[in-house]
Every structure is written in C-alpha cells, then in structure tokens.
Amino acid sequence: MSIRTPEEYRDSLRQLNTEIWAFGEKISDVVDHPLFVPHVNAVAATYEFSLDPTTEDLMLAESHLTSKKISRFNHIHQSVEDLLKKVKMLRMINQKTACCIQRCAGMDSLNTGHIVTYDIDQKYGTNYHERFNKYIQKVQDENIVVIGAMTDVKGNRALKPSKQKDPDLYLHVVEEREDGIVVKGAKAHLTGVTGAHEVLVFPTAALKDDEKDYAVVFSMPVDTPGVTYIFGRQSNDTRKTEQGEIDKGNAQFATVGGECIAVFDNVFVPWESVYMHGETDFAGKFVEIFAASHRQNYGACKGGIADVLIGATYLTAKYNGVETASHIKDKLVEMIHLVETLYSGSIACSSEGHKTASGAYLTNILLANVTKQNTTRLVYEIGRIAQDIGGGILATQPAEEDFRHPEIGGLIDKYLVGVDGVPTEARLRVHRLIECLSSGTALVEAMHGAGSPQAQRVFMLRQGNLGYKEKLATKIAGIDSLKN
C-alpha cells in the first residue's frame, strides 16, 4: 500500500523491526523515542508537504516508468526542470523545518543507480538496469523512504581497501551463493536510519581490478537481520529527551540527520537486490555521480536553513532594539548575500545539467562541486555573523528549568528582558534557535556532508579542463606561434 499521510508514514515505521543503539541502550521504539522523534518528524513533513496544494508542484513528479504522480524524492530526473525543481523543493522544505530532511542521499542514490547500472549493462551485457528499474518502481509505488550508504569506515586512509589489515574496514562480499551474496563490513554517517524503510549501499571510492569483492551495490530493508545501527552523538542531543521546548532550539525537528554507523555482519542479499557485483571499473563512476548529485543540494538545503537563521538574527536584533543600527543592517545584508551565493550555485549546476545515456539528467559536475565547496566556507561565516549579532547570551543563557522555577524564574524574566512589549521568553527562544542553527554538529555536517572539502577540490581539478584553458592562454599571448 502506498504511504500518503504523515501518520501512515509513522505507522509504516512501527511495522518494521529496526533497532538502533544509542547511549548504551538498544532502542526498538524508534518512532516514539524522544531522541528520535524530531528526526522522524522531519521526514514526516515531506509527506505533509506533498498533500499541500501550495507545495505539491515541487514535492511531486511524474514517474518515467508508470506516468503516475510520485514523490520527487523517488523520482528519476527527466529534464533540467526536474533538477531545478529538486533544489527549489529542498530550499522550501528547509525554510519550513530548519533541519536536514534526510531523504536527499536516497534520492541521489536512486538517480546514480539508474545512470550507472545502464552503463554497466551496455559494457558487460548484464541485467542490472532492469533489476534497478523494478526496485525504483517498488519505491515509487509504495512511496517509501530510501537512504544512501556510501562512506566506508576506511581504517588506514593511506591504504586501499584490499590492503587494509582488517578487510572488513571496507564493506565487501564474503560469500557468493546460488540465491545471492553475503556481505560484511561497516558504513559510516548514514543519514536518516531512524526514518527509513530501505537502504541503498554502494562503494565509497574507485577500485582496482583486484578489489572485485568491494565493488558491490545493493538495496535492503532497513531492518534486515545482521545489521547493527549505532547512533552518533550530536551537539546538545540529550536536550531532546528533556522536558520543555526552549532549550531544544528547534523543538519539533532535528537540525541534522541523525547519523548512524551501520555494521554488516554476514548479511545476506538476494540477487534481485544486487545492482553491481565485481565491476570495479564502475565503482568510481558511482562515487562521481552520487557526489555531484548530492553536492548539488547543499546551496538549497543549507540556504533554506540559513533563511531561518537570518530571520532569527533579525528578530534578536529587534528584541535588543538595534535593528536600525547601520552596522547591524550591513551584517544582515552580508548574510543575505552569502545565502543567495550558496543558492546560486545549486541553481547554476542544475541549469547546466545534461541528459545521460540512461535518459536520466545529471547536474553539472564541476559546478556542483563548487557549490559544495562554497558551503564548507560560507555556512560558517553566516553562523559567525549570527553569533556576532546575537551576543554572548547565546552561550550563557540559563536553562529553561531555571526560567520556569517558581523561586528564580522571575529574576530571569526581569533581567533578561529586551525592548518593551516583547516577552522575555520570546528572547530566550530565539537565542536557542540561533545557537541550534549556527554551531556544533550543524557546522560539521556543512563541512563534511557529501564529502570533505578536499574531495570537492579533487573533482574540481579533474573537471576544470586545464589543458583547454592552457591553449586559450597560449593563443592569446601569442605563444603558440613561437618556434623553439
């Protein structure tokens, strides 16, 4: 049955047997556990927006397989317009939630799989693309949530997968059976396990001919036996389990995606769910296309969150009575400039997208990497300005429990007041929101989500076409006409 509403989505998660370790406890009531509720809420919002007439044009698309209306998160891009609607959708959602909505990696994995399985079939005569299209149709028809699993834990970064002392530091095939394969290893930084139905697994790096066991792509239900999920700690994460709302900053939604380490201990995968097996020459292509597709998003999703941060920063300036000061206005202008610069990158790489041999459209790889490189820098500067305007109170504000306390709450209410007519609580709330959006895990994710800054620089050098630019310079300088 296709999931339509947020409540149907939550009910579908309750039917799974997903278990996640967190703080030394194995948690099985994932949907309703206070640590995970904000993460589930974020994904549930994508179903809610799909039913909203004002946002459904961005949220829904027409399936190239069935011509049915489907979630854009499960869509294979069929045009430049699709690429543009993707980033517009992400900015809109993040403006409304101010959080990672956890479905981007799955969306990008589906599109990557569609493109690369076609190419593998063309070279080797395999039937991966047919298998993958069946999987895509299932995902679309059931309207389920897929997440991506790319990053291996890597061990000694100076060594290739096959040279590691422990071969399990990169996920690999340990057994081939008549009915499928068995895999072992671990994947890191899985965004959205708390709210997922399926996981799509693929390599993290280009591979050599002697590393066929590591060249594997497959899908599986998130609650597949043999997989252990361990939740990652985040800044101020225990605030989610506290009473009250103020200290949570963004009480309804989680700022980042609730990343997990996933350990695969001899996990069986049937052949119908395997989409690459041993084709090492295509491992790097999976990485390149997924990376570009995922980096395309960042100017939009971080731009939407930054829009909320700008609003909060403007609010705190008003609450302090300084919103008309020239230096405050100048700093707000700089925040706007930086956000729109981020977003311009997402729009540009989408506009320069092209059709691949599979029929799916792919973003401009060079510009997508430029977009993500900007994110690793500009998000920090946007946060710095927000903290500058917000003031030291962002780091020293008393807890909500103290504000609610009958003995000392009145003191906080009296002495942390701002301009007349604004409740002290409003000021406390906006401080916590600024803290939430401008520091801690949110910044690390902006830096390393979709790959480290150096990874983008590698792709930019590769895509920068230095040889062509050298020829341009030699001709204009008159060097090409000189003789030795």
Catalytic site positions: 100, 104, 191, 259, 294, 298, 301, 445
Strands annotated E in 222-304: 227-231, 260-270, 274-277
Cα 181 to its chain centre, rounded Å, is 29
With 0-12 / 13-18 / 19 or more C-beta atoms within 10 angstroms meaning exposed / middle / buried, residue 123 is exposed
- DSSP result, 26-62: EE--GGG-TTTHHHHHHHHHHHHHHT-TTTHHHHEEE
191 annotated to a ligand binding site: yes
| Six token digits for residue 79 | 């045009």
Radius of gyration for the alpha carbons in the chain, expressed in angstroms and rounded: 24
Contacts of residue 428, Cβ cutoff 8 Å, sequence gap at least 6? 246, 397, 400, 403, 412, 416
- What size, in residues, is the chain? 484
Amino acid at 481: S
Q: How many CB atoms lie within 10 A of CB 131?
A: 19
User: What is d(CA 120, CA 358) in angstroms, rounded to the nearest whole number?
Assistant: 11
User: What is d(CA 373, CA 370) in angstroms, rounded to the nearest whole number?
Assistant: 5
What does residue 27 show for φ and ψ, rounded to 5 degrees? -105, 120
186, β-bridge pairs: 263
| Six token digits for residue 444 | 């690390």
Contacts of residue 245, Cβ cutoff 8 Å, sequence gap at least 6? 251, 400, 429
Q: Annotated binding residues, as ranges?
A: 191
Q: Annotated binding residues for FAD, as ranges?
A: 191
